[in-house]
Amino acid sequence: MSASLRAELRRTNFAGRRVSLLEGALVVGGVTVLATRTGRAADAAVLAGIGALGLIDDVWEPRQRRAGRPVSKGLRGHLGALRSGRLTTGAAKALGIPLLALGGAAAAPGPRRGAMVLADAALVAGSANLANLLDLRPGRALKAVLPGAVVLAAAPGGDPRDESGRRLGLAAALPALLALPADLREHGMLGDAGANILGAAVGGAASRRLPVPARLCLLGGIVALTLTSERVSFSAVIDRSPALRALDQLGRRPAPRPEDTGPAMGEQR
């Protein structure tokens, strides 16, 4: 890898340590390759598109910040910029990921009904966004994604829809498991690219493996958490709960002393 590309992918995280977005790019590649095992070209194409939108956002937004241009944050900020005639990479994701998810849901195996196609697409897009919202501390998004991915991959099932869902779960579980050590050691980070594609793969697996009531309940929870995140900091909630804080810090490096780190650059986890 060239020095210029390595520099482009370097970030300073919340603790002032240098990390690389190469982790996220490798996760995108791994998930996409494994998704081809579902036997449905649309699955790999949709996930690759979601990963690509995230990677563009990862690379382009810091360039805008360095150039002194305004950078919108949060769903409301990106949609506000769009209303004023400015297309941000975040707004491109907010539009592009649901459209890709809709195409994937429409092409999924099994009988399709209009309302459930929309609900399944929302489940995929919402899962992608929620995983990204959680990627603010080392290992946090991976700890949220991995259990669901493993369960969806391991649960037995025989029909084609179940089998493709199982393989989507596996496509998320293996790259997430491989990425976890580097993420916890703060050598790398998922970024939007890695978090979005892992969340989307788990959402896609859930849309094929879970019964309709469970899918709708899961979607309702994701929507509630997403709306809450616009006003409430997940990190603050986790820090106030001893159980959540212990889980969040499990396997992580100790926080550095203030004198050991410089100021963090940009909004990194």
Phi/psi for 85 (5° steps) reads 90, 15
Return the biggest CA–CA distance within the chain.
60
Q: Does residue 257 belong to any structural domain of this protein?
A: no
- Average pLDDT score over the chain: 86
Q: Does residue 1 belong to any structural domain of this protein?
A: no
Q: Does residue 267 belong to any structural domain of this protein?
A: no
Q: Does residue 22 belong to any structural domain of this protein?
A: yes
Report pLDDT digits (tens) over 206-217. 999 999 999 999
E-strand stretches of the chain: 10-12, 18-20
Q: Does residue 134 belong to any structural domain of this protein?
A: yes
For the beta carbon of residue 71, count every other beta carbon within 10 angstroms.
Answer: 20
Note the pTM of the prediction, 2 decimals.
0.87
Please report how many Cα atoms fall inside a 13 Å half-sphere around the Cα of residue 145, on the Cβ side: 41
Q: What is the C-alpha to C-alpha distance for residues 124 and 101, in angstroms, rounded to an integer?
A: 6
pLDDT at 114: 82
For the beta carbon of residue 69, count every other beta carbon within 10 angstroms.
Answer: 10
Q: Does residue 269 belong to any structural domain of this protein?
A: no
Q: What is the C-alpha to C-alpha distance for residues 69 and 67, in angstroms, rounded to an integer?
A: 6
In the predicted structure, residue 247 carries a pLDDT above the cut 80: yes
* pLDDT band for position 220 (cuts 50, 70, 90): very high
pLDDT at 262: 45
Q: Which of 45-54, 59-68, 102-111 has the highest mean pLDDT?
A: 45-54
* pLDDT band for position 1 (cuts 50, 70, 90): low
How many separate domains does the chain show? 1
Q: Does residue 260 belong to any structural domain of this protein?
A: no
SS3 188: strand
* Structural domain containing residue 157: 12-252
Report pLDDT digits (tens) over 13-29. 888 889 999 999 999 99
